[in-house]
Amino acid sequence: MSIPDLNLLITLDAVLTEGSVARAAARLRLSPSAMSRALARLRETTGDPLLVRAGRGLVPTPRALELREQVSQLVQDAQAVLRPASKLNLAQLKQTFTLRTSDGFVENFGPALIARVGTEAPGVRLCFIPKLNKDSNLLRDGSVDLETGVIGDATSPEVRTRTLFRDRFIGVMRQGHALSQLTMTPAVYASGQHVLVSRRSHSKGPMADALKPYGLERDVVTTVGGFAAALALARASDLIATVPERHTGNMRAGMHSFELPFPGLEITVSMLWHPRMDADPAHRWLRNCLWEVCAGQLGDHETEA
C-alpha cells in the first residue's frame, strides 16, 4: 500500500476552510493553476469532488463537510508537534523526577535541592533511590531521570555527563579517639582499626595501594557497602573510616576529621542523564538546579559537556 502525500492535508484544510480555490491559493501562496492541480489530486485521492459548482460559486459535498473538522484538527495537531516546545512554566509544572544518587549525596545536597525545587516549581516532586552500581540501563529505559556518581568503565558511553564537584578522601574517627591526639603519619593511620567501604567483599580499597610505599597495611576489621554505614560505625566505636570529604560533610558533624598523611585519592562526582532528555525543558531546569546547588555549596564551576 502506497503512503499518501500528507502535504495534501494542508491543501485540503485550506480548500475546505476557504470554500474557494482562489482564496485557498492565496492562503497557501500558490498560483491558481497550482491550486487547481492540487485540488485535482485531492479529488483523485479521496474519491470525491469535494467542491462542486453552484451558480458562480462552489459548495462543499457531504463528504467535504464530514472531513472539514477532522482535517482541521489533524493539521493543528501536526503543527503543534512540529512547533518548538513552549516556554516552561515552572509554577504549573507537575512532575515527579527520579534521581539515583551515590551514598551520602542526599544527606548533603538533598535539603538544598528540595528547597530550590520547591521554591521554583511547587508541583514538582523528587524521588531519590540509591545507586548500587554504575549500570546505565535505568537511565536508558526511563526508570531514572538523573544520576549522580563517579563515571567508570561500566558507564554507558551514550549518556551525557556534567561535572558537579571534585572531592578527596579524608580520615574520620570519633571525638576523643586516642589517635586524634597524635600527629597523623602513615604509621599512626595504619595502626588503627579500620572500616572499609566496598561493594566487593574481597577488595582492600585504594588506601591499601597508598600505604604500600611505606610497607604498611591497614587492619580492616569490617567492610560495609556505603559511607553512611562506615561513619555510623566510626562514630560509635574506635574504628577509622576513610571517606570523601565533601560527599559526607553533613554526616561527619561532631566527628574528628583529618587529612590523610599520604597522597590521597581524588574523585570527580558528576551527574548523568540519557541523551533523549537533553533538550527537555523540565529536565534541563532540574539539571541546572542540581548543578547550581552543588556549585553554590562548593564553589566549583564547570561547563556542560
Please indicate whether residue 192 or residue 140 has the higher confidence score (pLDDT): 192
Cα torsion 151, 156, 158, 162 to 10°: value is -10
Answer yes or no: is pLDDT of 304 > 50: no
List 172's β-bridge partners, or say none. Answer: 241, 257
Question: 300 pLDDT band (50/70/90 cuts)?
Answer: very low
Percent of the chain whose pLDDT exceeds 90: 51
Can you read off the three cell numbers belonging to residue 12?
A: 485540503
Separation between Cα atoms, residue 293 and residue 113, nearest integer Å = 6
The CATH number given to 7-82 is 1.10.10.10
Listed in sequence order, the residues at least 6 apart from 32 whose beta carbon sits closer than 8 Å to its beta carbon are: 21, 22, 25
What burial class does residue 298 get, using C-beta atoms within 10 Å of its C-beta: 0-12 exposed, 13-18 middle, 19+ buried?
Answer: middle
Can you read off the three cell numbers belonging to residue 151?
A: 563515571
CB-CB contact of 247 with 108 (8 Å): yes
Percent of the chain whose pLDDT exceeds 70: 94
CB-CB contact of 44 with 14 (8 Å): no
Q: What is the pLDDT of residues 80-130, one digit of tens each?
A: 777 666 688 999 999 999 999 988 899 999 999 999 999 999 999 999 999
Query: Cα 1 vs. chain centroid, distance in angstroms?
Result: 41
Separation between Cα atoms, residue 101 and residue 159, nearest integer Å = 16
Q: What is the pLDDT of residue 234?
A: 97
One-letter identity of residue 103: D
DSSP 3-state of 236? coil
Q: What is the pLDDT of residue 67?
A: 85
Separation between Cα atoms, residue 208 and residue 169, nearest integer Å = 13
Q: What is the pLDDT of residue 155?
A: 80
Q: What is the pLDDT of residue 2?
A: 67
CA distances from 80 to 12, 13, 86, 197 (A): 18, 16, 10, 52
Question: 46 pLDDT band (50/70/90 cuts)?
Answer: confident
One-letter identity of residue 43: R
Residue matched to cell numbers 493539521: 75
Q: What is the pLDDT of residues 172-211, one digit of tens each?
A: 999 999 999 999 999 999 999 999 998 776 677 788 889 9
Answer yes or no: is pLDDT of 38 > 50: yes
Separation between Cα atoms, residue 287 and residue 272, nearest integer Å = 9
Please indicate whether residue 35 or residue 115 has the higher confidence score (pLDDT): 115
91-300 adopts what CATH topology? D-Maltodextrin-Binding Protein; domain 2 (3.40.190)
List 139's β-bridge partners, or say none. Answer: none
Q: What is the pLDDT of residue 256?
A: 97
Residue limits of CATH 1.10.10.10 in the chain: 7-82
Average pLDDT, the chain: 88
DSSP 3-state of 54? strand
Q: What is the pLDDT of residues 206-254, one digit of tens each?
A: 888 899 999 999 999 999 988 999 999 999 999 999 999 998 988 999 9
Global pTM reads 0.69
Q: What is the pLDDT of residue 297?
A: 65
Q: What is the pLDDT of residue 301?
A: 36
Answer yes or no: is pLDDT of 74 > 90: no
Separation between Cα atoms, residue 228 and residue 185, nearest integer Å = 25
